[in-house]
Structure 1
């Protein structure tokens, strides 16, 4: 077919990605008022397109034009080198939903919009430029990207629209020191850290240009590398030849990309006013809409302001109506939903499963929502009968998509980096999908958004958020599943009932996202969400799914040993009491302590029985041996029931490992909580408690590696409260507890006894938590007056602590929250309360900035850790307060310690520069006890 493109034609090729990112970074965050959709980058992009149109009108206007975009992240270069562009930072989450809108904007301006799966925009530009040049036309590439400079030459130039500067052969030489035809040779040698092109280590652009100019081209240089006089340079070229040749393939643009359009499809067209006005009005661009309408000589459409809504009102006025929810039963019905998702660039997704344990629960169905009020449910494995009879329970109900078919269709969307997946507690759904071979990314999480904004104010479950912010009570799950012995799993819920329930969950999630997303910026917690909450989800997902090996035989032996020791303690308790009784019975224990032995502090509850809680026994333990022994017995009983017995039931039959689940929102301060089983509260103060960790073991050929922050909260206290004595002690590497004891008790360091140091340690950590003389007396099992004296002397020695406490409480009372050094807001809702809650609220407010900052530090370390150890045979397994536990190949221990320690000790940088250096201790062993 004959082309009309030829001599006299002028093609402009606009680098769409360059326009988008310049627009995104040039303007402050902007949202569409009606629904909170981020549109800042779209606004900037439209302004740039309009300016381009204005600047290229008249006699020198191009005859053909196209905006070229990247489509997806995987190209043929990733097949050549799987680490290509591996260093690139993830796209900002508020930019992601704007990407498809920039395509719509280009089409609204009636400019050709082109992209191609498997190829970068640069390859499309290269192919079009060569085609246009060979046809006798002129080409202007509107970009400043150095990778495109290899195309400059006869008939092809570049134009930097930001600097209003043309780039010809001289401009290329100024940048690379060689002509355009040798740019790829220089790039192959110099590499590119941004795109992770390896190049030749130690050779930069200037050296590469000197070598290419001397030897003519890259191939000649490599063939004659033996002639290079500099030994290191010669060795690099000889040893890294394959790497350099690979680098050239990576930087060389494909000038023969298979296009499904021709140059004739790129002819310049005038904008169609109706389509352009409709798009600009939909985006609510008032100023731009009016300006372009004036230029086109048409009337600008009216853009109405969104009605004002209070924070607790729904984001949308669309009612919840189950009749609008579709049950998607086959591939044909699913296709329109997939099309809507790709068009929008986001989707709210939720899974329904047979249980709450993500490692064993089966996938029952998936719900999707792309706009409020409209959602669908895809049933997959519902059973034909709700009863466990022999004839129905294992048969699938009719009218469902085959599980494998549904996942095959959804997988490209759920894994597409250009489509945002929105969930409520997305970590759960990510683990479910991961077990079925689907790696969901990128994600947004409404639960974590709520936590970032409202930590300490209320819970963050879906029902709570829906009622509070959408004024809607969700369909309850209990009537569907029942309770007690008659309870059923979700796969036995009738499909129609399941559709209403599950689709509503996705609908609620999308509405919460639209409500919360723009608020993150407004309440100044975007950084907290984007750096501390959201990126932790994939990290924890991988940790939890990997799990940790637990030796069942070790647990069984410990359980027997604990039982024997408990029997011995029971005998001692009976001797002290002068009679036998059930030590595990609070009622019988109360009668022994307060009726028979007449110990002080006996109080009867509403039932008439004495209270014998831990706090009461702790008080009595300072005066009598029997309550001490009961506390020891209870400790062993808890260790046996909670750990040595229960842990055996948590060993996954498929993996042979224990898979705890971390709650990101489990504590107001940012500390993670561990459940099913709880591996963070294993007691370590007693020898028996520490022994529990012996059951956590490494696989053969591996070791467990523990990296633990040394006294991180004291270091943060020294920084926040400005305590020079503590800062200096840490700088000098002193034993901080011994130093404190020396300061308080006037005992020289060389005369320090373990008992005095233990008391100082209890005070050091106790003061941070706002401990009272009463509480310290319990911990040390000393008289209350003596404990209060220790605390009083502590404040005298370190007056900055009292100042910090008073200032923090005052701030909390005035603002209703306190903050960590990284900006996390921890709301103190009861700080102005009267009565018994007042003291607790003040202590919590005082501790929160310290504990919260420590929690933020280790979160930052965890987020950075996967990249740091990616090339090592190491896995991060557990996070326990200030410790990270790894499983590492025996021959990679030192390398892992070095990499992980660098991350952990530098975790506060660059956001916060601490006055006190963070220090991380490392230990290794065949089991956790040895490593710690």
Structure 2
């Protein structure tokens, strides 16, 4: 690895290195607080860790490492440095570059009370906004600093494990060559990537640089703040609802047992014994197969089997309703009760999920450890999972949502006058689509007392939200059947989609 890296032990040295530079890369090294040193990944938790050191780079191939809380070697004056750091992070004239800015933001907010001010630039966001080849954009998993340094800069960086050899970073000697090299290199290569990605944007996708600088990087700062704050939860309510779920599952399990006897159904009614009962003992048809050709037993298969039994084996129909209900309770308990309880911080009492701004192929935000983005809605949740999240005393929680944002964006890009007109006139796009695909007037489509109103509106909604993602007749048929309980033939679904495209003429032009 090439680079001229030095240790800086005073504010004067830091200021002398940075000078009047207006593009500065920085990076934190962290270690667990004393009481959490035996806890896995505590160094990455703002509530359980402290900043051990900070590095800066203002020109490629150079960098300084500032030791703050190493257990051996000379550290900078902590109070003076954090005062300098607050000013640096708040400076609106310096572009502050970091790789995974959300982490730096969470530490700065939790430890210094600072919200990093724009301009900022997150090279992990930039990585995901560039293509790794002519056809594919980089995924989050391909955007780690070590991998990018190797792939783009042609240099192999030492790993954290090789550098620390099982120790925490503050156990490394402050001015050791390996310590300084590891710390400073992170900032140096973040700066190198800043320049490489901007060169790529200039040549290929200039607007993506704007997105990185003015949308994704500022968003990363606030994602860090959000993670540091976390979600306040009512643990007592969660424990009470866990008991309710267990009792309900026990009740349903007894009802299933009354039908099938002492067959082990497991936690999800997916055991080999239960499958053998259905397909071998009861001789039910294998209406769907897994990827390896075995008889499937997913939720869709359960619905298909229930429909078949309604006609051919009515005495078994109730079994499939019970199994689906049992699975629903099992999902709620395992994912939203046990899963959330497992992630409540012993330090803050909050849940602090990882939020990834560009974590999906479509560019949408995702959330993990736990996934707090997909809590069930009221109509599909007998427990009330969303009530687990409670504002502290004296505070309010606001729930906000864009109204039909995908359809509005779609109308904007299609430039279809009929669609745009609905929004300009504050109309109802689902009523408009009902009118278009069923050939009825707008007033009739809007009439809640009209025959087939509910079914038609349900179909219109599914068509609307699916069309912009390339919905095909068979996909629409499947969606309507398993999400809405509406049976339509493939030909009927093809006619619905064709009517939609005839009604919104610019839609298919834009899609093509």
Q: Quickly name the TM-score band, shorter chain normalised.
A: 0.7 to 0.9
Shift of 1:494: 6.0
- Counterpart position of 1:760: 460
Please state how far the C-alpha of 1:504 moved relative to its aligned partner.
1.9
Change (3 A) 1:573 1:433: same
Aligned partner of residue 337 in structure 1, secondary structure: helix
Decide which of 478, 498, 508 is 1:795's aligned counterpart: 498
How far apart in 1 are the matches of 2:278 and 2:78? 62
Correspondence 1:472 to 2:175? no
| Partner of residue 40, structure 2 | none
Q: 1:535 to 1:806 in 2, by over 3 A?
A: same
Residue 286 of structure 2 aligns with which residue? 600
Give the superposition deviation at 1:619: 5.0
How many Å apart are 1:439 and its aligned residue?
Answer: 4.5
> 2: CA distance between counterparts of 1:467 and 1:805?
43
| Residue 19 (structure 2) pairs with residue 342 (structure 1) | yes
The 1:539–1:605 alpha-carbon spacing in structure 2 relative to 1, beyond 3 Å, is closer
Please name the residue that 2:110 is paired with.
Answer: 435
Check whether the contact 2:419–2:504 (CA below 8 A) recurs between aligned residues.
Answer: no
Structure 1 residues 592 and 743, CA gap change in structure 2 (3 angstroms): farther
**Is the Cα–Cα contact under 8 Å of residues 619 and 778 in structure 1 kept in the other structure?**
no
Note closer, same or farther for the CA distance 1:764–1:366 as it changes in structure 2 (3 Å cut): same
2:196 to 515, 528, 551: 515
Q: Give unpaired runs (5+ residues) of structure 2.
A: 32-42, 310-316
CA distance in 2 between counterparts of 1:498 and 1:582 reads: 54
Give distance in 1, aligned partners of 2:308 and 2:180.
63
Does the Cα contact within 8 Å between 2:263 and 2:274 map onto a contact in 1?
no
2:276 is matched with which residue?
A: 591
- Counterparts of 1:451-462 in structure 2, within 5 Å, are 451-454=128-131, 457-459=137-139, 460-462=143-145
- The 5-angstrom pairing of residues 185-584 of structure 1 reads 320-321=1-2, 324-328=4-8, 330-331=9-10, 335-354=12-31, 355-382=43-70, 396-401=71-76, 403-437=78-112, 438-442=114-118, 443-454=120-131, 457-459=137-139, 460-480=143-163, 489-492=168-171, 496=176, 497-522=178-203, 523-525=205-207, 526-584=209-267
How far has the Cα of 1:377 moved from its partner?
Answer: 2.5
Larger radius of gyration: 1
2:478 to 771, 774, 786: 774
C-alpha deviation, 1:452, in angstroms? 3.2
Deviation at 1:424, TM superposition (A): 0.7
In 2 relative to 1, CA 633–358 (structure 1 residues): closer, same or farther, beyond 3 Å? farther
Q: Which moved more, 1:676-685 or 1:743-752?
A: 743-752
Deviation by residue 1:88-116 (Cα, 9 ceiling, x = unmatched) = xxxxxxxxxxxxxxxxxxxxxxxxxxxxx
Q: Distance in 1 between matches of 2:425 and 2:108?
A: 50
Aligned counterpart for 1:669 among listed residues 353, 362, 374: 362
Per-residue deviation, residues 651-689 of structure 1 (Å, max 9, x unmatched) = 445544433342222134332222333221112274317
Could you report, residue by residue, the CA deviation over 1:208-230 in whole angstroms, capped at 9, with x for unpaired residues?
xxxxxxxxxxxxxxxxxxxxxxx
Residue 511 of structure 1 deviates from its aligned partner by 0.7
Question: Shift in Å at residue 560 of structure 1?
Answer: 1.7
> 1:644 aligned to 2:337?
yes
CA distance in 1, matches of 2:354, 2:172: 26
CA shift in 2, pair 1:590/1:488, >3 Å: farther
- Contact kept, 8 Å, 2:127 with 2:197, in 1: the verdict is yes
Q: 1:689 to 1:471 in 2, by over 3 A?
A: farther
Relative to structure 1, the CA distance from residue 691 to residue 399 in structure 2 (aligned partners, 3 Å threshold; closer, same or farther) is same
> 1:731 deviation in Å?
4.6
What are the residue-to-residue correspondences of 1:28-47 with 2, within 5 Å?
A: none
The Cα shift of 1:806 comes to: 6.1
- Who is 1:132 aligned against? none
Cα distance in 1 for residues equivalent to 2:281 and 2:486: 25
Deviation at 1:514, TM superposition (A): 1.8
Query: Which digits, 9 at most, give the CA deviation of each residue in 1:274-303, with x for residues without a partner?
Result: xxxxxxxxxxxxxxxxxxxxxxxxxxxxxx
The answer to whether the aligner puts 1:706 opposite 2:406 as a matched pair is: no
TM-superposed CA distance for 1:781, in Å, is 4.0
Which gives a bigger RCO, structure 1 or 2 (Cα 8 Å, sep 6+)?
2
Paired residues of 2:55 and 2:183 also in contact (CA < 8 A): yes
Contact kept in structure 1, 2:416 and 2:504, CA below 8 Å: yes
| Structure 2 Cα separation of the partners of residues 653 and 424 of structure 1 | 28
- The Cα offsets for residues 747-795 of structure 1, whole Å up to 9 and x where unpaired, read as 7423154344333323332333334133443323455x53652353232
Partner SS, residue 75 of structure 2: coil
Contact kept? 1:325, 1:500, Cα under 8 Å: yes
- Aligned-residue offset at 1:509: 0.7
Q: Residues 712 and 439 (structure 1 numbering): CA distance in 2 closer, same or farther, change over 3 Å?
A: closer
Query: What is the alpha-carbon distance in structure 1 between the residues aligned to residue 505 and residue 155 of structure 2?
Result: 46
Aligned residues: 467
State the Cα distance separating 1:491 from its structure 2 match: 3.6
Aligned counterparts of 2:335 and 2:454: Cα–Cα separation in 1 = 31
Q: Is the CA contact 1:763–1:776 (under 8 Å) kept in the aligned structure 2?
A: no
Unaligned regions of 5+ residues in structure 1, if any? 1-319, 383-395, 810-932
Distance 2:421 2:242 in 1: 46
TM-score, length-scaled by structure 2: 0.79
TM alignment of 1:714-725, pairs within 5 A: 714-725=407-418
Question: Are the structure 2 counterparts of residues 652 and 604 from structure 1 closer, same or farther at C-alpha, using a change threshold of 3 Å?
Answer: closer
Q: C-alpha separation between the residues in 2 aligned to 1:409 and 1:716?
A: 44
- DSSP 3-state at the match of 2:26: strand
How far, CA to CA, are the matches of 2:352 and 2:44 in structure 1? 13
CA change 1:374–1:737 in 2 (3 A) is same
User: Deviations 1:467-489 (Å, cap 9, x if unpaired)?
Assistant: 3321223322344567xxxx654
Compute the TM-score of the two structures, normalised by the length of structure 1. Answer: 0.46
Q: Is the 8 A contact 1:583 1:630 kept in 2?
A: no
